[in-house]
Amino acid sequence: MRNAYLLLQYMFSEDKLVYTPVCYFDLKSGILCPRCEAKLRSGEISELDIEVAKLLVNVESKFPQLQKASFIRAVDTGEHTIIVFGQGDLARLNPILGELRRVVSDKLGKPAIILENQSDPRMLIEDLLSPLRIVAMNTLWIPDGTRELHIIVSGSKRNLPISEKILHSIVEKLYGTSLRITFEPPIEQRRGVKRRIQKTR
């Protein structure tokens, strides 16, 4: 009996597997241990977290890069599933990111967006908006006690790499705050307009 237990420990050793907020053995057995059950009841993890964690564990043999990655959480925006990995993981997952996104999207039945965990919303928004540049960001406190992030982006709305609606939804779901975006022409473009105005005088 002890030998069988040690074998299970080796098979499910989490130091050589993708890290998830759910025990690896629970994901494989389909039954939550008391600790993970308590996490689910308290809201620390969600049913979606469990579903995505199980999916990642099932595909990690196909994507060995996952074995050094940390899955943090998953969020459903309605139209997309946001999958958040630990800091530094996207560089590690970069060679397989496109295929992993496709596989996860197919399994979940809706497009997946894979992000890196950022405590600072500006860093995450910059990643999503690249190559557009954020020139300013302020936090506005609304009279009802909620807050709103106001960002000023250098560039045109037409050049957004992600729809404004999706961006709003991601920020609201991950940081619990609304978002307002103002677009302004790049400095070079504004200088060009100024020179043309001066020439016409």
Q: What is the mean pLDDT of residues 66-90?
A: 92
Q: pLDDT over 70 for what percent of the chain?
A: 85
**pLDDT digit string (tens) for 143-191?**
888 889 999 999 888 888 888 999 999 999 899 899 999 999 876 555 5
Q: Domains of the chain by range and CATH?
A: 1-117 (no CATH), 118-201 (3.30.300.20)
Mean pLDDT of 74-98: 93
pLDDT in tens, 87-97: 999 999 999 99
SS3 5: helix
Nearest to 181 by CA among 151, 149, 147: 151
DSSP 147: E
Which H helix or E strand runs over 82? strand 81-85
Q: Give the span between the Cα atoms of 60 and 66, in whole angstroms.
A: 6
| DSSP-assigned beta bridge partners for residue 183 | 153
